[in-house]
Amino acid sequence: MTPAEPHDQRLAVRIVAIATALRFVVAALLPLGIDESYAVVVSRRLSLSWFDHPPAVFWIAHAAATLGGESPIALRWPFVLLFALTSWMLFLLTSRLFSARAGVWAVVAAQLIPVFSLSAGSWVLPDGPLLCASIAAALALSHAVPVAADDDASTLQASRWWPWLALGLALGGAGLSKYHAALLGAGVAMFMLSDLTARRWTTRPQPYVALLLAIVCVIPVFVWNAQHDWISFRFQTGRAAGHGNPVTALVQNLAGQAGYLLPWFWVPMIVLLARGLRTGPRDRATWFCCCLGALPIVVFTLASLGGRAGLPHWPAPGFFMLLPMLGAAIARWEGRTADVVRQRMRLAGIVYVALLTIVVSHAATGWVARIVPSLRRADPAFELLEYRSLRDTLNARGLLAPSTFVATTDWLRGSKIGYALGPERPVLVFNADARHFPFTADMQSLQGNNGLMLMRIARNESEVEMWIAAQDYVTMFDTLHFEGTVPVLRGADTAVTLGVFRAVHLSGTFHGSPVK
């Protein structure tokens, strides 16, 4: 260890600690998004796996809710701590591949990239567990085979098992988090087969035991899917197809990546990836990062040529594996112009905190939409809108107590409504795309019961228009009684209006397939 390394290690600890403290504050202030609300609602009923993701995020959400209730901070604290662990392992990996100084800058970058620091770093989403398991797998692999340029292959004894067992468990953890794990496993195989020194291990039992251990870990996912006609795999493999213009979809995909990672980090990582792929295994540490990170980036970028842009965070796990390369590049830059580097990174930190402040305050009050009225139609912060006023309003009207279930027309609304009303009543979603909701409530056992039907309506929609919209669901009940509307407030403004129908005697079964 060089004299500078203990200082860098302490600096990395301070950075992770400060960022984690800030993340706890944001986790407490920011309402749950739609995907988070969905994870909480559908995790109330435990399962081996879930419709759209493996079980890790849902198991964690269920455990957190059981321990501390369903407030945002009670649900998010495990994910905040998980990202602190992820950040520390990122420092260890980068220090091993390049230098401790590179590790510091990799950690700094991870804290300043929104898709990592905010969503994966604190929200109730599968990305947090995936990143933690992925970086753990990379760290274990770096101890199993020579990776850094100065690694001595002779020191990696053939009898050593612990790095391989850790690799198997980490890959299994990734497989329990998100189906992206298949690309991580393929990246591990790509490095093992393309690097001459690593390839020697393919004649030994350790890699195959690691693979077997990873498969054992994900048995719950395969068991659940086998019981449900492999519905998760059919859903996920069908998401990339679209009917849009391929070029437009590709441009939207790339713009989304740049927005989620911020251009001043995204562009350098793209350049570093291109250079690393061109250099190949000659630079072993860089090639290691490229093998583990390239596949999600390439696959989900090229998938947009099918006519659908996809979601910008899909390639993000691949970019996370490039952070050691980015940290090393910043460290080299710092060696030439230290003052400039620190000034630029300080500016990046100021921009990130400013963006975070805008997001948190706008989510609570909607002030940006008042300044820019055009945002009212497509306000991205609507995903963070809380429906907490709904429960009190329905109770005040005497509608909630007699209801044994709540029904709505789409999974996004069902997620928000189900989270706001609490775990006492199951949520039914009458839609061809209901995600995991059909598996959370037994409609047969609810036959003959009374409930509420809630539908989002346009701001000035008449009662006649509401009834026309409700006609698709009339056959589900003996009768539907319109009980008026309920506003969902953001600050003092009405953000969403819900039409409320008293649903008397559930008597039908929705036969729509969850898969479009």
Per-block average pLDDT, block size 10, for the chain (516 residues)? 74 97 94 95 97 97 97 98 98 96 98 96 98 98 84 59 97 98 98 93 95 98 97 87 85 94 97 97 96 97 88 95 98 92 92 89 74 68 79 90 89 95 93 93 88 85 74 86 86 81 85 44
- Give Cα separations from 275 to 146, 272, 278, 320, 469 (angstroms): 21, 5, 5, 17, 55
pLDDT, position 516: 36
User: What DSSP line would sit under 148-178, residue for residue?
Assistant: STT--GGGS-TT--HHHHHHHHHHHHHHTT-
Residues 440 and 41: their CA atoms lie apart, in Å, by 9
**What value does the CA radius of gyration of the chain take, rounded to a whole number of Å?**
25
pLDDT, position 1: 45
Torsion angle of the four alpha carbons 453, 455, 363, 26, in this order, in degrees rounded to the nearest 10: 30
The phi, psi pair for 243, rounded to 5°, reads -125, 15
Contact indicator for 96, 141 with CB cutoff of 8 Å:
no
Contact indicator for 12, 104 with CB cutoff of 8 Å:
yes
Six-digit token pair at 71? 């407030």
pLDDT, position 239: 76
Contact indicator for 115, 260 with CB cutoff of 8 Å:
yes
Contact indicator for 325, 272 with CB cutoff of 8 Å:
yes
Question: For residue 246, which amino acid is it?
Answer: P
pLDDT, position 459: 67
Angle at 111 between CA 126 and CA 311, to 5 degrees: 40
Residues 264 and 369: their CA atoms lie apart, in Å, by 27
Six-digit token pair at 77? 């604290």
Is pTM beyond 0.75? Reply is yes
| Number of alpha carbons in the 13 Å side-chain half-sphere of residue 427 | 32
Name the DSSP letter for residue 215. H
